[in-house]
Amino acid sequence: MPELPEVEVVRAGLEPAVTGAVVRAVTVLDERALTRHPGSGPHFEAVLTGRTLRAAARRGKFLWLPLSPGEHSLGDEALVAHLGMSGQILLRSPGAPAERHERVRLDIEHPDHGELAVVFADQRTFGSLAIAAMVATADAAPGGRGAFEPSIPSQVAHIARDPLDPAFDDRRFRETLATRRSAIKRVLLDQSVISGVGNIYADESLWAARIHPEALASDLPTRAVTRLLNEVGVVLEKALAEGGTSFDAQYVNVNGQAGYFAHSLNAYGRTGQPCPRCGRPIVRVSFMNRSSHYCPHCQRPRAR
């Protein structure tokens, strides 16, 4: 599943192309892409056509494009996107042939870039698009990366801020960990505590911080939590600089290009290979219907 770096790469690619663009036409080819939208395909097409896309914003793994007021709108709204397991948002030339697994297409017109097509493709159909109302943020800060207003789509309001968000509250994160008698990796994957971190970057951050994935969050000393927060930020920033992690053709940016962070992984997917730090084998264990990858020597059950 795409995690924060992969989604941020898509947001950054969309931002200059869609900000200020008018939606001239909307074509829903598969209504399974609208599972979170409170209406039908024709309703989605009607409420979106003619609206201006005002920005490209993100919190955690959710993207949204704030919309200008429309004939059918009841207030501030946004086009919300979640990529699910295999979703892609691609920029194409107007009239370009349909993409494989294309579900929805927006034909837009930008004052500087002219006509473009924004294509939502999704092989496994777990991703979604929806029009959602905007609500005020709990902390009065902008909703997320790329957002300028203290508002967020109602469908994203339950998602915590992510570590690359300037408004992320380190102190609150430490206080939350102190109350959690759960494995630290489970907490890192809880999007209501810290967003954008999935299985890959949880493993990489814990390896970098020398923390065992099953260590209890509440037992971690302050210095270990500080180290972990720092490493989460470093790992995410590095992955973002390399375009995210691509293991197959599904994880691409808006131009269909893959990321290269897979070449920089230290723990995830390296079962049996030597730990880059100590040379002992990386192990893989089952975790929440997934897998954890770590070094038993470097990542002891009791963090220091």
Q: Is 124 annotated as a binding residue?
A: yes
For residue 69, what are its two tokens?
Answer: 């007021």
| Cα 157 to Cα 63: distance, rounded to the nearest angstrom | 12
Query: Is 3 marked active-site?
Result: yes
From the list 200, 231, 224, 229, the residue with the least C-alpha distance to 302 is: 224
Give the tokens for residue 33.
Answer: 């892409």
Q: Which residue is catalytic, options 32, 223, 280, 290?
A: 290
Residue 243's SS3 state is coil
Q: Catalytic one among 11, 59, 61, 145? A: 61
- Told to judge if 185 belongs to the known catalytic residues of this protein, a careful annotator would answer no
Collapsing DSSP states into helix, strand and coil, what is residue 202?
A: helix
List the beta strands (DSSP E) in 212-268. none
**Is 2 noted as a catalytic residue in this protein?**
yes
Cα separation, 188 vs 175, whole angstroms: 14
Give the chain's radius of gyration (CA, Å): 20
297 is in an annotated binding site: no
Close Cβ partners of 160 (under 8 Å, ≥ 6 residues apart): 60, 191, 192, 193, 194, 195
Q: Which of 303, 38, 39 has its CA nearest to residue 177? A: 303
Could you say which of 3, 8, 15, 204 is catalytic? 3
**101 belongs to an annotated ligand binding site:** yes
Tell me whether residue 61 is one of the annotated catalytic residues. Answer: yes
Catalytic residue positions?
2-3, 61, 290
**Residue ranges for the binding site for DNA?**
101, 124, 180
**Residue ranges for the binding site?**
101, 124, 180
